[in-house]
Amino acid sequence: ESRFFGDLARVKVQGEDLWILMPTTYMNRSGQAVLAVASFFKILPDEILVAHDELDFLPGQLKIKKGGGNAGHNGLKDISAKLGTPDFWRARIGIGHPRSLGLNQGVADFVLHRPSADHQNQIADCIEILLKNTPLMLQGNIAMATTRVHTEVDKAWKARQTPAKGEAGNAA
């Protein structure tokens, strides 16, 4: 519905409603969509999880936290302003920074283009881990879900960093 400024879906997870919103506004106005849904369905800021790209993390890294600054992320800045608080949950999904990835590309250009196939797969793995642990979050077990997400992501990250036997870099 246009009144929510985005695509909205309701999913039942273990009998609980989970609203999934993808704003169709410009990213720096995504707070408009978040506020519209939160107001209509009476969702409190600490019941909101915003999944967003994180330049400070490499692809394949993910951290969940509640509140904090926006680190220059205009979408987070707008959501905080519209909700009147920064105290909502964030799933910070690493996309890397062009400098940390050795790319000669400006940040704005970088974030507006699709990631490489390898980076896309790493990002998708993070999202899968996050979704797998969503039922725990809905039950109110945020600490346990966060621990599991971080543990699983760290394990996957380390597995990608360690070449398999017989690959370059290993003494056979």
pLDDT tens for the chain, 172 residues long, are 789 999 999 998 888 888 999 999 999 999 999 999 999 999 999 999 999 999 999 999 999 999 999 888 999 999 999 999 999 999 999 999 999 999 999 998 998 899 999 999 999 999 999 999 988 998 889 999 999 999 999 999 888 887 666 555 444 3
Which structural domains are found in the chain, ordered by start?
46-161 (3.40.50.1470)
Q: pTM of this prediction?
A: 0.86
Q: Are 126 and 60 in contact (CB under 8 A)?
A: yes
Q: How far apart are CA 23 and CA 29, in angstroms?
A: 9
Q: How many CA atoms, within 13 angstroms, populate the side-chain half-sphere of residue 124?
A: 8
Label residues 50-82 b or e (16+ Cβ within 10 Å = b): bbbbbbebbbbbbbbeeeeebeebebbbbbbeb
